[in-house]
Amino acid sequence: MTPDGKVECVKLHMETGAVTGMCGDGGNDCGALRFAHAGVALSDAEASVVSPFTSKEKTIQSVVDLCREGRCSVATSFASVKLLVVYGLISSVMWGFQSFHNVVVSQWCWILTDGVSMLCFSYAITLAKPLSELQAVRPTSSLIGPTTLLSIFGQQAINVTFLSCGVHMLTSEVWYCPFSIENVDMTKWWLIGDNHLSTLFFFTIIFQQHTAAWVFSFGSRYRQAIWDNRLLMFLFAAALTLDFYLLLGEPSALTDQFRISSSTNVVGLPDIPMPKSFRVKYLGIIVGNMFSCILFEYVVVLGPVRSHFRSNTYKPDIEAVKKLRAESQAPLKDVRAALVATSGDFPAAFEWLRKKGIASASKKAGRATAEGLVGVQVADGGLAAAMVEVNSETDFVAMNDKFQALVSSVAGALAQPAADAELVTQLPTDKLARVHVDGATVADKVPELVGVVGENVVATRAVQFQLEQGTICSYLHNVAAPGLGRAGALVALQFPSKAASAEQVAGVKELGHRLAMHIVAAKPRFLSRETVPEALVEKERAFLADQVKDSGKPAHIVAKMTEGRLNKFFGEFTLLEQDHFIEEGNPKVGAFVAEQAKKLGVDVTVAAYERFEVGESKDEEA
């Protein structure tokens, strides 16, 4: 397969909506490696220019290794995010309980949870290693997907339930005296933490935090077992040792530092120190909380419950997927999602895809579209023509067959002759959106295309030409496909074509084609000096006069200098007075047209022209 063929192969796979990888030697595979979503260059040299990944082991097994590492990285990243989210939820609920009961957890408790535990566990989780073999099941790819949300909110529901049970158990004890903030000197606000509720809240938050770090570190599917993460296991052992000592140990300087209410140095009458019997009983609540979270994650989120629901979900057969994709031209993943969402109802799935395409187009509508194509079509024997610019976000989409088909069909529809049409009809974005193409408006066609290519697409502008006699000629630069390019021009030449010979018509068409080439290259702004707005001429004349007024020359000389420079302005920006780039000797365009018309024996007039370039209208708007 040739290098271009490899690029085309990767592109075709990507157009199906599949995440596409490429593995090659980094030589003639460079194009395909860069084009793919992920590339692995099998090379002894560093090849990051052409591929994000390089393997010195020149075997396709490197792709498997990359997938193992990638899945481990995804699972670990999601675990880190879930830990931070769950800890934020734990802290938020804890602050709510503290505010309700007018208590606070001591400063050292927050230092331990925020400043030590979170930093250490967040780092240790990232040290997980991938499994040695690649599993058949892929990790979830959505941070807000059902698996991730079920894990987060399931853990939080369990935590809130056990926290509420712990508070109820404490306040139901016969020895418990409700804490009153009125008995505290607020200049010593930290004393608000010297009570049984603050102690209970501290142990709840610290154990729930450590449990979250544990359950989100489970391996066996994408990562090695939690036991293989030695730093994580050491931190668990150290943290639990400290937690159990603070909860069950005898009063000491350390427990007093954390304001644990098991000491008379922390609480005084009418309160009594928290009995050890209650602390042991509360340990049962904490252990129940830990095991409930572990079982929920292991059985429901990752285990048999999840597998049961996945196995009972409707799975579309391959024929249904092929049929719907052929009719909708939507990405493969969207086709599958549509069939699953509608339980295989084909018409409903098609409508689902259509609505998704419109919604997707709406979401992407604000994105910048600086790439795209210019489409040109000439019809009715050269008496009618159209040119359209359609923009996309990237040049990859501009190479997409469906994108090119839309541009061609819009240009073809606009090129059809119409009764009583003007010589030139400009169609800005709003008018272009109402044009009918293949039974639907451009405004309907564009969202459907957005749903397929996954990028914002804008039908930006168009122009229509129509003549009674003469010919309309075109030229495209950087041609991407027949009738499509990066820049294009139309030029209308009026002459008595009905009475002209075939040789004369062919000569005028060749003249027009070369003139269109010049227009693309020279970028004229006006047809002739007569078509330049008078206000612009006067503004330019005043500017030029201001430049030469201090030259010290007589007024009539200054006037001649001004007019001379104004003629240079016309020579630069008006088509008929520009130097013809294409012809030998660079004659003036107007003079060259007159000379060629004389040679052909026909009266030729340049009636109108238009030039489009991709992104040009965006630059003008900016």
Which CATH number is associated with domain 70-309?
A: 1.20.1110.10
Task: Say which CATH architecture domain 318-364 belongs to.
Answer: Orthogonal Bundle (1.10)
User: Which pLDDT belongs to residue 565?
Assistant: 85
Average pLDDT, the chain: 85
- Condensed to tens digits (0 to 9), the pLDDT of residues 254-306 reads 888 888 887 777 676 667 888 899 999 999 999 999 999 999 988 888 877 76
Burial of 181 (0-12, 13-18, 19+ CB in 10 A): middle
User: Hey, what are 19's tokens?
Assistant: 């995440």
User: Which pLDDT belongs to residue 594?
Assistant: 93
At 357, the pLDDT band (50, 70, 90 cuts) reads low
User: Which pLDDT belongs to residue 503?
Assistant: 93
Q: How far, CA to CA in Å, does 513 sit from each of 480, 489, 508?
A: 19, 9, 9
Which of helix, strand or coil describes residue 371? strand
Looking at residue 273, its amino acid is: P
pLDDT exceeds cutoff 60 at 375:
yes
- Condensed to tens digits (0 to 9), the pLDDT of residues 33-76 reads 888 888 888 877 766 667 778 887 888 888 888 888 888 898 89
Least confident of 136-140, 247-251, 453-457, 479-483: 136-140
Beta strands at 53-55 and 371-379: parallel, antiparallel or unpaired: unpaired
At 83, the pLDDT band (50, 70, 90 cuts) reads very high
Q: Helix 146-171 vs helix 276-295: angle between axes, to the nearest 10 degrees? A: 160
Task: Check if 70-309 and 371-532+574-621 are the same fold.
Answer: no
- Condensed to tens digits (0 to 9), the pLDDT of residues 611-622 reads 999 988 654 544
Q: How far, CA to CA in Å, does 317 sit from each of 308, 314, 340, 351?
A: 19, 9, 10, 19
- Does the domain spanning 371-532+574-621 belong to CATH 3.30.479.20? yes
Q: How far, CA to CA in Å, does 397 sit from each of 373, 405, 618?
A: 10, 12, 18
* Statement: the pTM of the whole predicted model exceeds 0.95: no
Query: What is the phi/psi pair of residue 466, to 5°?
Result: -150, 135
User: Which pLDDT belongs to residue 5?
Assistant: 83
Report domain extents, the chain: 3-59, 70-309, 318-364, 371-532+574-621
Least confident of 245-259, 398-412, 507-521: 245-259
Helical spans, DSSP H, in 296-376 = 304-311, 318-328, 332-341, 346-364
- Condensed to tens digits (0 to 9), the pLDDT of residues 136-185 reads 777 777 788 888 899 999 999 999 999 999 999 998 988 888 877 777 66
User: Which pLDDT belongs to residue 261?
Assistant: 82
Least confident of 67-81, 353-367, 573-587: 353-367
d(Cα 282, Cα 261) in Å, to the nearest integer? 14
- Condensed to tens digits (0 to 9), the pLDDT of residues 97-144 reads 888 888 888 888 888 888 888 899 999 999 989 888 887 777 777 788
